[in-house]
Every structure is written in C-alpha cells, then in structure tokens.
C-alpha cells in the first residue's frame, strides 16, 4: 500500500493531467448529449409514433461494445479519426439513451390534471412546455443526465485505446507492465471521479425535485443561461487546447509519431520522436493505439510514421499466408506497401520480435521443455491462453496447433495479450503466445520454446513512413536511416525489462539508449 501512495506522490502532475483529460471528455460529451437529448425527448412526446423507433435505436447504440463503436467511428469523415474527437462522439452516443428516455418519462409523467388546468388558464402549448411540463420533469431529466455522466466516466477509460488520453492510459499501461500501481493509479481516480460526479449531480437533482413549479417562471432565462454556460465550457476547452499548443515562432516541420499499445512500441516511438525533436522537428505523440489503428491512421494521414513488424504487415495487413523467408517477406512488404498505401518501409532496426510460445520456468525445467514439439505429450492436460490477435490472425492459433499437432483439453482462453502474462504467472493457464522481446519474460521467470518447425513468419522491426512525409520532412528519412541495424534483440529486451521490470519511464529509457549509442 505504501508503494502505491509513494507512486501517487511522485507522479501527481501526470495523474492530474490525465484526470483533467478524462473529466473534459466526460463534461463535453454529457453537455452535448443533454443539448441534443432533451429537445429530442420533448419532440418524441409531441410525436409519439416516433418514440419507440428512436428509443430503440438509442438502446442499440448503447449495447455496442465501446471498442467496437470506436472502431466503427474511426474511418468516418469529420467525426472519425483517432484521439479525443472520436471518443467524444462515442460518449455522446452512449449518453443519449438515458437522457432521451428520462426526458420522455418526465414530461409524460406530468399529472394530467395539472396539464388540463394550465390549458384552462389559457396557456399556449409553448407556455405549457416551458412553464409547467419542463419544470415538473426537471428532476427526472437530471436523473438521466446523472446516469449518462457516470456511464461516461467509465467508458472514457476505454478511450485511451484510440489515443484520447485520460485515466485509462494508466490502466492499459499497468496491464501491459504487470504493474498494480499503474492500474490503481488509473482505476482509483476514475472510481472517485464517478462517485463525485454522481454525488454532485445527485445534489442538483434533489434540489430540482424539491422546487415548486412557481419557482420556474423564469425557466427560459435559466435555459439560456445553461446554453451560455455550455458555450463557455466549449470555449474554455478550445482555449485549453490552444494553450497546450506550442507558442508561435519560426515555422518548424511537424510530424505525428504513432505507436501500438505495448511497451516496446512506446519505447521505439519515443526514440523516433526524440531523434526528430533533436533535429528541430515538432513532434506530436500518438502512442498506445490498439489493434490496427496505427495502420489505419497512417493510411488516412492522421499519423506520419510508426514502428511495425514485417510479419504483421505481411499476414495481418496484406493478407498473405505465413512465409519463413526473411528476405522475401521484407521485400514483398516493401513493394506492396509503396504500391497500395504510398508508405515507405524503412530498413530493419536490427532485431526481430517474433511470436514467443511461453511457459513457466519451473514447468520448463521440471519437464525438460526446449522446443514447441516437446509440448505434444502434455497438451491434453494443459490450459492455453492467447490474445485475441493471436486467435484471429492467419499466422496464429489455427495453423499453430495444426503444425505442431497440439490437442488441448479445452479451447484456449481468449483474453487481452497483457493479461495472458498475468494469467500464466498466476497458474491460471499453462501456455501463452507472447512476444520474444518482452521484458516480462525475464521479470516473471518465463521460458520461450523454440519454433523448431519454423511455423511463425519473421517479424523484423521496421519503421513505416508516409511517402509524402518523407518528401516533406527530410529529417524523417535521415532518422529512419540512422536507426538501421542499431538495436539488437538483447538491447530491445533489456529496454523492455527496464520499463516492465524496473518501472522506468519509456521516455527515460529511450533517452538513455540514445545517449549510449551516440544518437
């Protein structure tokens, strides 16, 4: 517990920054959802034939898993892409259902006799809405806003997977590094934020429910004030974003460096970013993007370069069957990426990050396991666990078990890659597919078995660069060329261990490596 407290004390500026990003996402998305959802709910009360279809669509949107919704939104023009914009749109869609439904329920729930009395007094439909129905329904509507905001706090943690920042960044980092401090550093503030938002909006809801309709004769003015507050909030966010931008000065070339969502990629992204900054290039970091988001963002022009692996490009992106010839894979990837995506494939960085079939060190020593073929007699009694990527890839699970004749007692447990390491170390599974350069292999006393039948294709580390960027910013091509054959497998594994095992920051590890190599 003291280690967690010490971590909070040492990293509070980062925690505050990420908590601020998280809160801004929630506030803006909830405000936009309320601005859309409340008028929509009132309209549905006036046009009841549309109520069921609209609420049904809103309900379907809320059942879509958050990662799937992010993935569906990213390719869309204007509202898509990576970062906070897509996350905000997704959060708005999630928040609409409780707000629209509670608005309909609140307005329809106004006592019929009160409505008839207001009409008998000569109120127009407009006056009836503003001076009677909305005031009486405000408490119920606020309850919907309250639910939407709390849902937003939780869903916003997933937004870190598309580069939107927030407290989910720490949670994902902690899962990858097997670091409970990072997980708690993201989860505890998120939970406290949800409780605080729920409490604050609950107080507002209670006060609104306690008021009488006569106190709402100035409802229209109050609504205008709320609209002005929303405009001020958006203006404050724009100013915050502007303040975070670099000060005006001599024009510098600008690039966006991306990375996937695991430790090695973040380290490589930092190396690229730092070397470019040392050459006078302004760099925006878009790290820790899940799945194929890096590739999609590169092709769409949302990032300019990122580290990749030839085997992944060959099978997962280009769709070819696995091939063991290192040079053939590299050359075909280089040719097809330039032809299909206008992307330059840089020279190999010097190491390969192949799929690693891992077992506990104690099991490997006890059973004298050296190669994957040695697993065949034990597979019927063992439990396997693999990441979703390995299960679905053409160079993944199906071909792996077929090549080695492995018959497990039960289907493999499918989970996030970072969780497979924790599951193996805890004895929940007996075999996983990791990455050969992971620092957790040494940190958790795991053993990599030899791919003695050469099933997996080679995964040489390279840098992918948009051709337009390489022509516009010559420093990018210079950096990529300087990194050719500069990182050995041992160096990469050591850097990963320094982050995952020794809890150093990727930026500091990258800086130390650059200084040691004279880069």
Do 412 and 478 lie in a common domain? no
Do 76 and 180 lie in a common domain? yes
The burial of 300, by beta-carbon neighbours within 10 Å (0-12 exposed, 13-18 middle, 19 or more buried), is given as middle
pLDDT tens sequence for the chain (519 residues): 666 677 777 778 888 888 888 999 999 999 999 999 999 999 998 898 998 898 888 888 877 877 777 777 777 777 777 778 888 888 999 899 899 999 999 888 888 888 888 888 888 888 888 888 888 888 889 899 999 999 999 889 888 877 788 888 888 877 766 677 888 888 889 999 999 998 988 888 787 666 555 444 444 444 444 554 454 455 445 444 444 444 445 567 899 999 998 889 999 999 999 999 999 999 999 998 877 788 988 998 889 999 999 999 998 899 888 888 899 999 999 999 999 999 999 999 999 988 899 999 999 999 999 999 999 999 999 999 998 778 887 778 888 999 999 998 888 888 877 788 889 988 999 999 988 888 888 888 999 999 999 888 889 999 999 999 999 999 999 999 999 999 998 899 899 989 887 888 899 999 999 999 988
Domain at 279, CATH number? 3.40.190.10
Answer whether residue 454 is part of any domain.
Answer: no
Answer whether residue 249 is part of any domain.
Answer: no
100 Cα distance to chain centroid: 27
Domain at 183, CATH number? 1.10.3720.10
C-alpha–C-alpha distance, residues 300 and 295, integer Å:
9
Pair of tokens at residue 365: 């020593």
Do 378 and 414 lie in a common domain? yes
Pairing label, strands 305-309, 282-289:
unpaired
Pair of tokens at residue 512: 């130390």
Answer whether residue 433 is part of any domain.
Answer: yes
Residues of the domain holding 197: 2-244
Do 258 and 179 lie in a common domain? no
- Check if the beta carbon of residue 342 is closer than 8 Å to that of residue 466: yes
Residue ending a domain, choose from 391, 425, 449: 449
Do 149 and 297 lie in a common domain? no
Residue ending a domain, choose from 191, 225, 244: 244
Do 136 and 119 lie in a common domain? yes
Task: Transcribe 166-208 into DSSP letters.
Answer: STHHHHHHHHHHT-HHHHHHHHHHHHHHHHHHHHHHHHHHHHH
Domain at 375, CATH number? 3.40.190.120
Residue ending a domain, choose from 449, 484, 500: 449
b/e per residue 229-264 (b: at least 16 CB within 10 A): ebeeeeeebeeeeeeeeeeeeeeebebbbbbbbbbb
Do 73 and 9 lie in a common domain? yes
Do 232 and 286 lie in a common domain? no
- What's the per-residue H, E or C state across 472-505? HCHHHHHHHHHCCCCCCHHHHHHHHHHHHCCCCC
Do 391 and 473 lie in a common domain? no
Do 464 and 435 lie in a common domain? no
- Check if the beta carbon of residue 405 is closer than 8 Å to that of residue 323: no
Do 219 and 338 lie in a common domain? no
Do 413 and 362 lie in a common domain? yes
Number of structural domains found in the chain? 3
């Amino acid at each position: 517990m003291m280690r967690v407290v010490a971590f909070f004390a040492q990293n509070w500026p980062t925690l505050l920054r990420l908590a601020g990003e998280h809160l801004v996402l929630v506030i803006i998305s909830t405000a936009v959802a309320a601005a859309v959802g409340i008028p929509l709910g009132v309209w549905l009360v006036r046009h009841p034939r549309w109520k069921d279809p609209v609420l049904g669509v809103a309900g379907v949107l809320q059942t879509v898993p958050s990662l799937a919704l992010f993935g569906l939104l990213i390719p869309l023009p204007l509202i898509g892409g990576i970062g906070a914009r897509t996350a905000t749109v997704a959060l708005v869609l999630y928040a609409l259902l409780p707000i629209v439904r509670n608005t309909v329920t609140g307005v329809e729930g106004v006592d019929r006799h009160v409505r008839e009395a207001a009409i008998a007094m000569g109120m127009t439909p407009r006056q009836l809405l503003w001076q009677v129905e909305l005031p009486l329904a405000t408490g119920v509507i606020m309850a919907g806003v309250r639910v939407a905001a709390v849902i937003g706090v939780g869903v916003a943690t997933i937004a870190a997977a598309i580069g939107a920042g927030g407290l989910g960044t720490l949670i994902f980092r902690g899962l990858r590094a097997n670091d409970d401090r990072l997980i708690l550093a993201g989860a505890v503030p998120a939970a406290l934020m949800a409780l605080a938002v729920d409490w604050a909006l609950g107080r507002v809801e209670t006060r609104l429910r306690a008021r009488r309709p006569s106190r709402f004769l100035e409802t229209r003015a109050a609504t205008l004030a709320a609209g002005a507050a929303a405009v001020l909030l958006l203006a404050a966010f724009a100013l915050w974003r502007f303040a975070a931008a670099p000060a005006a000065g001599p024009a510098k070339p600008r690039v966006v460096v991306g990375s996937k969502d695991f430790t090695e990629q973040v380290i490589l992204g930092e190396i690229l970013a730092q070397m470019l900054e040392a050459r006078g290039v302004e760099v925006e970091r878009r790290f820790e993007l899940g799945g194929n988001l890096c590739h999609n963002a590169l092709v769409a022009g949302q990032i300019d370069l990122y580290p990749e692996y030839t085997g992944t490009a060959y099978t997962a992106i280009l769709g070819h069957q696995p091939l063991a010839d290192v040079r053939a894979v590299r050359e075909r990837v280089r040719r097809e990426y330039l032809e299909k995506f206008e992307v330059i494939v840089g020279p190999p960085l010097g190491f390969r990050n192949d799929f690693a079939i891992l077992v506990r060190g104690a099991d490997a020593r006890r059973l004298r396991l050296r190669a994957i073929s040695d697993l065949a007699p034990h597979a019927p009694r063992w439990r396997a666990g693999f990441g979703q990527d390995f299960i679905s890839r053409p160079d993944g699970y199906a071909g792996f078990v077929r090549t080695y004749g492995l018959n497990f007692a039960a289907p493999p447990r499918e989970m996030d890659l970072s969780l497979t390491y924790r599951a193996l170390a805890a004895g929940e599974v007996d075999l996983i597919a990791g990455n050969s350069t992971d620092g957790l292999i040494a940190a958790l006393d795991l053993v990599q078995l030899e791919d003695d039948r050469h099933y997996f294709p080679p995964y040489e580390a390279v840098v992918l660069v948009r051709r337009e960027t390489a022509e516009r910013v010559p420093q990018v091509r210079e950096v990529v060329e300087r990194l050719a054959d500069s990182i050995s497998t041992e160096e990469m594994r050591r850097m990963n261990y320094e982050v995952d095992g020794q809890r150093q920051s990727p930026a500091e590890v990258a800086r130390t490596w650059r200084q040691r190599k004279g880069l």
